[in-house]
Structure 1
C-alpha cells in the first residue's frame, strides 16, 4: 500500500460526498472552516505471512468553527452522525466500494471508520476550533 496515495484518496472521497468540508490528505498549515484532514499514521506490517497484509490506522481530524459554543458543537455533531448528507462515516463507507471491490479506488482491500474520539476544543496557532479525531483502519497488500 502507498501511504501517501491512501491519504490523498481518502480525503478526496470525503470531499466528494461532503462538499461543504475542506479536505486534505495532509496536515494543512492553516485551517479553513470546516476542515477534515488526515494526520498521523500507524503502520503494522506483516499481519499475514509473507508480506500478505499490512494494516494502517489513520488519525483524521475534523475541525469546525468556534463561533459560539452551541452552533459550533451542533455543526460538529452533524458531521459525526452515522448517516445523512454531512456524515463523514457515510462518506468513508462509500469509499469502501461495492462488495467484492477494492477500497479507495483499488488502493486497499478494505477500510473502516473504527471510532470517533477526543471530541474537544483544539488550538491551531492562535485559533480555537471544536473538533474530534476519527480513527480509520485501512488494510491491504504488504
Structure 2
C-alpha cells in the first residue's frame, strides 16, 4: 500500500460525502474552515507471512472555526457524530465498499475509524481552531 494514495483516497471519500468540508490527503500549510486532512502515518509491516499484510494507522485531523465557541464546538460535534449528513465516520464507512469488496476503490483490503482523540484547541500558524484527531486503521497487501 502506498501511504500517499491511501491518504488522498481518505480525503476524497470524506469530500465526496461532505462537500462543505475542505479535505486534503496531506498536511496543508493553511487551513480553510472547516477542514479535514490526513496527517501522520504509522506503518506496521509484515502482519502476516510473506508480506501478506501491512497495517497503517493514519492520524487525520478535523478543524473548525473558533470564531464562536459554542457554534464551533457544535459544528465539530456534528462532524464527529456516528451518523448523519455531516458524519465523517459515515463517510469512511461508505468508503469501505460492499462486504467482501476491497476498500477505497481497491487501494486496501479494509479500513476502520478506530477512535477520536485530542478534542481541543489546535494552533496552525497564528490561528486557533477547535479540532480533534481521528485514528483510521487501514490494512492491505504488503
TM-score, normalised with respect to structure 1? 0.99
Cα distance in structure 1, aligned partners of 2:133 and 2:66: 16
Q: Determine the structure 2 residue equivalent to 1:100.
A: 100
Query: 1 CA distance for matches of 2:5 and 2:72?
Result: 31
1: CA distance, partners of 2:28 / 2:2: 20
Write the distance in 2 (CA, Å) between the matches of 1:107 and 1:38: 16
In structure 2, distance between residues paired with 1:19 and 1:57 = 25
CA distance in 1, matches of 2:75, 2:67: 11
Residue 45 of structure 2 aligns to a residue in which SS? strand
Distance 2:112 2:34 in 1: 22
Moved over 6 A (4+): none
Q: How does 1:3-22 map to 2 (within 5 A)?
A: 3-22=3-22
Q: In the alignment, which residue of structure 1 is the partner of 2:125?
A: 125
Where structure 2 has 5 or more consecutive residues not aligned to the other structure, the ranges are: none
Q: Provide the C-alpha distance between the structure 2 equivalents of 1:11 and 1:30, rounded to a whole number of angstroms.
A: 16
